[in-house]
């Protein structure tokens, strides 16, 4: 009974932590370009800061995840990371030199980017046998992102964009307070070192799954960056752009709440193929529709595309990654999807948009997810055949 109460308390504070962590990103990342512009940075300098510095997350997430598994603590690592985020943020907010801001933002991403997979790992460990309830924790991140993004606009209008550091530091400190009420969960006593962590890269099913996830998520990461320019090019207003982000965030909530339990017995590859097909339709519609209002409304498909995609990815990671390497596995998943996927999507998407326009870009994104859907189904059929061959061999041996 007491253990159940403690677990419920842990989960409640995890919901608060997820709300504040992703909400803190909503108060910072969407408004940082405006902040840098107000400080006198050029469009090229802003693009370099926002596009290049985050690439550090590709190595930061696996490294920090490995350290967390090795020393068997998530809470302690998270506290250190948040302290580091606040410390290096002063270089972003108060320096006038491009290089100081650039390096500070890179260090900031090194500290901030591993926090999300670590929080995911802590959530899964805290849920114990109820890992299918993960979506009910993660949905609070979508709610936090939406609500804090909405209220941040009016607040920054009143205090001035130059004071962006105030709401950012406040939300980060509140996140640390919520973290203090959480406890590290018991981890397996198996030793974690570079050799054991390297076993993940020999896990062919998990690594192939990551590759397929990357193909699916690259167009999504393109949309994260280019939806603003696409809507603006079609005549969309600033309000419409903000509404598009809000609809996308809110559409994830029912998916995380209702589907996290329902998909636990489903085949992850078939579900991923379904998501890729829905993505194909979504990006195709974005490419042929010329009304910014319709495209804004279609952001409601974010829930059944990205929301379902992330539930599937997390479920596959839980099934295929050993528990003592859980944080490393989650970090590797995040690094592939948001680090590598973001890097390829941001640079490639920007080039295609500049050369051929946003409508051609979205049609190519639709083609890419269609190729992903076919590839996923082929991999599913390969796994099925291999399983049947293995079962028939076992049966023949038993008959002998």
Distance CA(355)–CA(358), nearest Å, equals 9
Domain of 337?
A: 196-400
Residue range 116-132, pLDDT digits in tens: 889 988 998 888 878 78
State whether 200 and 178 are in the same domain: no
- State the pLDDT at residue 362: 94
Distance CA(276)–CA(282), nearest Å, equals 10
- State the pLDDT at residue 211: 92
Query: Across the chain, how many H-helices and E-strands are there?
Result: 19, 0
Residue range 339-351, pLDDT digits in tens: 888 778 877 887 8
Distance CA(219)–CA(224), nearest Å, equals 9
pTM (2 d.p.): 0.79
Distance CA(116)–CA(333), nearest Å, equals 11
- State the pLDDT at residue 216: 94
- State the pLDDT at residue 279: 96
For residue 394, pLDDT over 70 is answered with: no
Nearest-10 Cα torsion for 340, 344, 350, 351? 160
State whether 142 and 30 are in the same domain: yes
Distance CA(103)–CA(338), nearest Å, equals 20
State whether 204 and 284 are in the same domain: yes
Q: What is the CATH number of the domain that holds 174?
A: 1.20.1250.20
State whether 131 and 229 are in the same domain: no
Q: End of a domain among 139, 155, 183? A: 183
State whether 94 and 235 are in the same domain: no
- State how far the alpha carbon of 96 is from the alpha carbons of 90, 99, 109, 210, in Å: 11, 9, 19, 40
The lowest-confidence range among 27-31, 77-81, 134-138 is 27-31
State whether 244 and 343 are in the same domain: yes
Cα angle vertex 274, ends 271, 275, to 5°? Answer: 90
Domain assignment of residue 124, yes or no: yes
Distance CA(278)–CA(301), nearest Å, equals 8
Domain assignment of residue 137, yes or no: yes
State whether 15 and 147 are in the same domain: yes
State whether 128 and 211 are in the same domain: no
Distance CA(358)–CA(338), nearest Å, equals 21
**Contacting residues for 366 by C-beta, under 8 A, at least 6 apart:** 219, 279, 280, 281, 282, 283, 284, 287
Q: Do residues 85 and 111 lie in contact, with contact meaning Cβ atoms separated by under 8 Å? A: yes
Nearest to 327 by CA among 130, 62, 57: 62
């Amino acid at each position: 009974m007491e253990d159940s109460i403690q677990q419920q308390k842990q989960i409640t504070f995890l919901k608060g932590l997820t709300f504040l962590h992703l909400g803190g990103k909503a108060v910072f990342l969407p408004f940082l370009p405006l902040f840098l512009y107000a400080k006198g940075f050029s469009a090229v300098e802003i693009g370099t800061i926002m596009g290049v510095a985050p690439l550090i997350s590709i190595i930061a997430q696996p490294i920090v995840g490995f350290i967390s598994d090795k020393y068997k603590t998530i809470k302690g690592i998270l506290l250190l990371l948040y302290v580091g985020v606040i410390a290096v943020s002063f270089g972003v907010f108060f320096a006038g030199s491009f290089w100081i801001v650039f390096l500070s933002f890179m260090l900031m991403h090194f500290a901030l980017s591993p926090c999300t997979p670590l929080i995911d790992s802590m959530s899964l460990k805290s849920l114990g046998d109820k890992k299918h309830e993960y979506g009910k924790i993660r949905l609070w991140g979508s709610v936090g992102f939406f609500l804090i993004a909405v209220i941040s606009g009016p607040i920054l209008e009143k205090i001035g964009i130059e004071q962006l550091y105030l709401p950012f530091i406040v939300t980060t400190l509140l996140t640390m307070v919520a973290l203090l009420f959480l406890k590290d969960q018991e981890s397996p006593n198996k030793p974690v070192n570079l050799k054991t962590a390297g076993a993940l890269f020999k896990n062919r099913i998990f690594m192939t799954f990551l590759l397929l996830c990357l193909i699916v998520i690259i167009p999504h990461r393109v949309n994260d960056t280019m939806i603003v320019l696409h809507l603006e090019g079609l005549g969309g207003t600033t309000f419409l752009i903000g509404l598009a982000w809000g609809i996308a965030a809110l559409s994830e909530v029912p998916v995380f709440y209702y589907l996290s339990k329902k998909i636990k017995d489903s085949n992850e590859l078939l579900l991923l193929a379904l998501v890729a097909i829905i993505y194909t339709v979504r990006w195709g519609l974005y490419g042929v529709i010329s009304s910014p209002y319709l495209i804004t409304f279609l952001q409601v498909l974010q829930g059944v595309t990205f929301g379902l995609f992330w539930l599937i990815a997390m479920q596959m990671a839980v099934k295929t990654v050993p528990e003592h390497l859980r944080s490393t596995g989650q970090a590797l998943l995040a690094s592939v999807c948001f680090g590598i996927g973001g890097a390829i999507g941001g640079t490639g998407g920007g080039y295609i948009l500049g050369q051929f326009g946003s409508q051609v870009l979205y049609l190519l994104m639709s083609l890419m997810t269609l190729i992903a859907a076919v590839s996923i189904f082929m991999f599913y059929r390969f796994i099925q055949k291999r399983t049947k061959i293995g079962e028939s061999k076992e049966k023949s041996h038993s008959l002998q």
